[in-house]
Amino acid sequence: MSGSLSLLDITWWVTTAAELVLLAVLVWRKALRSYPFFTCYVISILLQSAGMSFLYRQANLNATMVWNIAWGTQAAITIMRSLVLVELTRKIFARYTGIWTLARRSILCVGLCVIVYALAFSRGHSQWVILNMIRGLELALAAVIVAILLFARYYRLPIPSVPRALAMGLCLYSVFYVIDYSLLERGFKGHAELWNFLGLLTFLASLLLWTAAFILHPVQEEETQATSVSPDAYGKLSAAVNLRLYLLNQQLNRIVNSGERRP
């Protein structure tokens, strides 16, 4: 047990160090302007780590109170993660107003459906209410990220490397949170340390993914990439496509009609 606890402690310190490194990279890359919510999210997880470390070292504090504070701050962090997701969605779809009009409805619908589903399955566990809510929200976050990536893939939209890495990291963490929590709640209550360890490892992997993305890929360059054609070329293309489609449509109609008349 003591071995497992010390391993947990080491992982916790490594994770905190990785958070600090990520924050330093964000400052170095001047990412605050491009990714304000993500920078705030990293600051908030650092503050949470520091706060929790302080609280857990106070011997005179009530354990239930510390538990409630810990999971209350986790709820706040999850809300921060949702804001990061909004930021990511804007980065991926901002240049494609037409697709964004469609995507936002579908993504909202996916998110709401998953939250309703998760909450419906979480009834009757009042002592785990915050955790259940967080699990529902994490599942919705993961589903929304996957929906965004599927949308982008369907329309062959180029996703810059940094938003892609952020989306993958957020999604993997959310999904593993759901897996960890589901196992903890139902069958592995006696293995809370193991659950914490696995959760930390997943988060550490996400932190490393994000740090590597911000180090390897310049933030500003990705934002200035143009994807649209000039209005003049666009007008010509549209007219030509219209004409060809009209002719194709006429041909198809003729074929279908002649086929119907055939004895």
Partner 1 sequence: MTHLIVMVFFLAIAFVLIGLLLWATRPPKRIPYPVQDIFELLSQQRHCMRLPFIQHALQPQDTAFLEESGKKALMREIRADRRRIALHYLDQLQQEFETLLEISRAMAVMAPEIAAVEEIERWKLSLVFAMNCAFQRWRLRLGLRPVSGFASISTMATGLVRHLESATASIAENALGG
Residues that bind partner 1 (CB under 8 A): 96-99, 101-102, 105, 114, 118, 121, 135, 139, 142-143, 145-146, 149-150, 152-157, 164, 168, 171-172, 175-176, 178-179, 182-183, 185-187, 227-229, 231, 233-235, 237-242, 244-246, 248-249, 251-253, 255-256, 258-260, 262
Contact 26/214 with Cβ under 8 angstroms?
Answer: yes
Contact 48/75 with Cβ under 8 angstroms?
Answer: no
The encoded tokens of residue 113 equal 């459906």
Least distance in angstroms from the C-beta of 253 to partner 1? 7
- Asked whether the CA dihedral 3, 44, 20, 167 is positive or negative, the reply is positive
47/245 with CB nearer partner 1:
245
Picking from 174, 152, 137, the residue whose alpha carbon sits closest to that of residue 106 is 152
Neighbours of 180 (CB within 10 A): 19
30/153 with CB nearer partner 1:
153
Least distance in angstroms from the C-beta of 243 to partner 1? 9
175/204 with CB nearer partner 1:
175
How far from 135 is each of 75, 82, 145, 168, CA to CA, in Å? 10, 13, 15, 18
Least distance in angstroms from the C-beta of 199 to partner 1? 14
Least distance in angstroms from the C-beta of 263 to partner 1? 9
